[in-house]
């Protein structure tokens, strides 16, 4: 029994939190916040939440500050209350993204504990079939070697579709998976990736408790945390204002928005030049961040001299699964992969004028370059359209 208490403590988004920790899960937000921040752990929880928000605003995926210890449930519930009163979709998305990635990593630590995984899947009410002996469901080739894929888990296709519908990777499509009597054979880490998505969405579906904000802010520690996070967000939000349109769309050509460091790698690929390992990782993470379909990323490498579809497919999927954000400008400069000077790119060399800070700011991330150039181009188009409209009137 204590095993289940521990498991729920580690994964407080599990529905059975209400059963095993009703004193926390069923408490009203005001009583809960007052209790948490008057406890001995109050300041510890506050600091951890602050670190967490800072990491998500800075797109840092170093999870070393995260611990599934005795304050984990409070940490999770306070964040949920926080998002409910902030009622800010951009922040909620960032928190959901980071928390769900941490969840995926933690779940994968349990990959060899069938009991834990089975409990989690069942608690989430998934229709799962478990076999004590792994079942062979597919044969594949890796590096010219035949490999049998085996698993102990199968999930009903209806549950599978519900969970996988937001994920765009080709290999997750139902038609690309092995089924038996309506159940999809699935590896635990793939199932965990689906749970990551479940947790992400859970963070986006907050109950609106904005009317409780004033009452909650009467708690001094909670108020202090609220002010610090709001302050951090004010500093950072400008960077995200341009992010509204970023992402792959079949009908849109993103090439004109790509920074020189990426253009250089794409030019090399086009010419069939070999890429060093760092360039390969960078381009995969970068295009993945722009939501390029996995197959398109694999196809991109087809001109390279050492191209092998199976091996590249495996490597690309592996790199994507790792879930890293692409290198920043600082890192690219240290690898001598920054091509700002070679391409005489004004935005990269001079930066952009920030109205908010009334000063010139440097580009710090290639993804920001895409966001910014897309934003500027959309704004220009809008102005042109509005001028055209007034000329016609
Ligand atoms: S400044 Fe940044 S975005 Fe521009 S080329 Fe260098 S690394 Fe790429």
List of long-range contacts for 143-146, beta carbons under 8 Å, 24+ apart? 143/310, 143/311
Token pair, residue 223, equals: 């108020």
**Tens of pLDDT, residues 70-123:** 789 999 999 999 998 887 887 888 898 889 988 998 898 888 888 889 999 999
pLDDT tens, position by position, 16-45:
999 999 999 999 999 999 999 999 999 999
**Atom of ligand 1 lying closest to residue 366 CA:** 3
* pLDDT tier at 357, thresholds 50, 70, 90: low
| Ligand 1, atom 6, residue with closest C-alpha | 338
Label residue 218 by pLDDT band (50, 70, 90): very high
Asked if 351 and 369 touch (Cβ cutoff 8 Å), the reply is no
| DSSP run (H or E) holding 369 | helix 366-392
**What pLDDT does 238 receive?**
63
- For residue range 155-212, list pLDDT tens digits in order: 999 999 988 877 766 777 888 888 999 999 999 989 999 999 899 888 888 777 778 8
Pick the more confident residue, 232 or 386: 232
The tokens describing 391, both together, are 């000329």
**What is the position in ligand 1's atom list of the atom closest to the CA of 338?**
6
Range among 190-199, 296-305, 340-349 with highest mean pLDDT value = 340-349
pLDDT value of position 138: 86
pLDDT, greater one: 310 or 73: 73
Q: How far is the CA of 331 from the centre of ligand 1 (A)?
A: 10
Q: Is the CB of 259 under 6 A from ligand 1?
A: yes
The model's pTM is: 0.65
State the Rg of the chain over Cα.
24
User: Is 262 near ligand 1, meaning CB less than 6 Å away?
Assistant: no
Q: How far is the CA of 379 from the centre of ligand 1 (A)?
A: 23
- Residue 332: CB within 6 Å of ligand 1? yes
From CA 15, how far away is CA 25, in angstroms rounded? Answer: 10
- Is any ligand 1 atom within 6 A of the Cβ of residue 191? no
At 244 the pLDDT is 41
Asked whether 339 lines ligand 1 (CB < 6 A), one says yes
For residue 367 and ligand 1, the question of a CB distance below 6 A is answered with no
- Ligand 1 centre distance from Cα of residue 288 (Å): 18
The confidence score (pLDDT) of residue 243 equals: 47
Q: Which residue owns the Cα nearest ligand 1 atom 1?
A: 348
Q: Is residue 128's pLDDT more than 90? A: yes
- The best mutation among 264, 338, 347 to test binding of ligand 1, ranked by most ligand atoms within 8 Å of the C-beta, falls on 338
Above pLDDT 70, what percent of the chain?
Answer: 91
Task: Give yes or no for a contact between 67 and 246, defined as CB atoms under 8 angstroms apart.
Answer: no
pLDDT, residue 321, reads 74
Rounded Cα gap, residues 45 and 349, in angstroms: 42
245: pLDDT confidence band, cut at 50, 70 and 90? Answer: very low
- Residue 273 CA to ligand 1 center (angstroms) comes to 21
Q: Among 311, 328, 322, 251, which Cα is nearest to 284's?
A: 322
pLDDT for 381 equals 80
Question: How many CA atoms within 13 Å lie on the side-chain side of 136?
Answer: 6
Q: What is the pLDDT of residues 129-163, one digit of tens each?
A: 999 999 998 888 776 778 888 999 999 999 999 88
pLDDT, residue 316, reads 85
Q: How far is the CA of 304 from the centre of ligand 1 (A)?
A: 24
Residue 66 to residue 72: CA distance in whole angstroms: 9
Residues 6+ apart with CB under 8 A from 365: 59, 326, 328, 329
| Per-residue CA distances from 66 to 49, 59, 97, 106, 205 (Å) | 10, 15, 15, 10, 23
Specify burial of residue 393 (Cβ count, 10 A radius: 0-12, 13-18, 19+): exposed
Q: Are 225 and 79 in contact (CB under 8 A)?
A: no
- Give residue 274 CA to ligand 1 midpoint distance, Å: 21
Which pLDDT belongs to residue 241? 54
Q: pLDDT higher for 149 or 392?
A: 149
Cβ(340) – ligand 1 distance below 6 Å: yes
The number of beta carbons lying within 10 Å of the beta carbon of residue 19 is 12
Model confidence at 387, in pLDDT bands (50, 70, 90)?
confident
Query: In degrees, to the nearest 5, what angle opens at C-alpha 311 toward C-alphas 140 and 294?
Result: 95
Placement of tokens 């199968």 in the chain: 154
In the DSSP assignment, the letter for residue 20 is H
Is the Cβ atom of 366 under 6 angstroms away from ligand 1?
yes
Name the residue with the closest Cα to ligand 1, atom 4.
348
359-361 vs 183-186, strand pairing mode: unpaired
Q: What pLDDT, on the 0 to 100 scale, is given for residue 353? A: 80
CA neighbor of 326 nearest in space, from 371, 367, 269, 373: 367
CA distance 223 to 158: 44
Residues 159/74, Cβ–Cβ less than 8 Å: no
Contact 81, 216 (CB under 8 A): yes
């Amino acid at each position: 029994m204590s095993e289940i208490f521990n498991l729920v403590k580690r994964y407080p988004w599990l529905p059975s939190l209400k059963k095993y920790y009703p004193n926390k899960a069923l408490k009203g937000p005001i009583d809960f916040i007052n209790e948490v921040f008057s406890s001995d752990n109050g300041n510890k929880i506050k600091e951890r939440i602050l670190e967490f928000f800072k990491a998500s605003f800075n797109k840092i995926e170093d999870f070393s500050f995260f611990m599934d210890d005795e304050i984990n449930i409070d940490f999770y519930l306070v964040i949920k209350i926080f998002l409910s009163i902030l009622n800010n979709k951009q922040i909620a998305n960032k928190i959901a993204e980071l928390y769900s990635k941490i969840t995926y990593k933690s779940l994968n630590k349990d990959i060899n504990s069938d009991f834990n995984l089975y409990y989690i899947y069942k608690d989430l009410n998934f229709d799962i079939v478990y076999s004590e002996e792994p079942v062979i469901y597919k044969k594949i080739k890796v590096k010219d070697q035949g490999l049998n894929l085996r698993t102990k888990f199968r999930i009903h296709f209806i549950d599978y579709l519900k969970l996988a519908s937001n994920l765009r990777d080709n290999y997750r499509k139902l038609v690309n998976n092995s089924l038996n009597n309506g159940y999809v054979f699935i590896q635990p880490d793939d199932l965990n990736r689906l749970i990551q998505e479940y947790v992400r969405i859970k963070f986006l579906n907050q109950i609106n408790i904005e009317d409780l904000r004033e009452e909650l802010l009467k708690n001094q520690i909670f108020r202090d945390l609220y002010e610090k996070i709001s302050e951090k967000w004010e500093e950072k939000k400008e960077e995200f204002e341009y992010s509204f349109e970023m992402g792959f769309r079949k009908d849109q050509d993103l090439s004109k928005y790509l920074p020189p460091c990426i253009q250089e790698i794409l030019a090399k690929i086009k010419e069939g030049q070999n890429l060093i390992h760092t360039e390969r990782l960078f381009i995969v993470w970068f295009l993945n961040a722009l939501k390029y379909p996995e197959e398109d990323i694999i196809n991109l490498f087809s001109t390279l001299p050492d191209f092998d579809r199976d091996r590249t497919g495996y490597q690309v999927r592996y790199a994507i699964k790792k879930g890293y954000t692409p290198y920043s400008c600082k890192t690219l400069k240290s690898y001598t992969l920054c091509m700002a000077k070679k391409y005489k790119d004004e935005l990269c060399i001079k930066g952009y004028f920030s109205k908010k800070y009334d000063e010139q700011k440097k580009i710090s991330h290639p993804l920001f370059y895409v966001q910014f150039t897309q934003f500027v181009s959309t704004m220009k188009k809008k102005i042109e359209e509005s001028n055209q409209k007034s000329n016609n009137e």
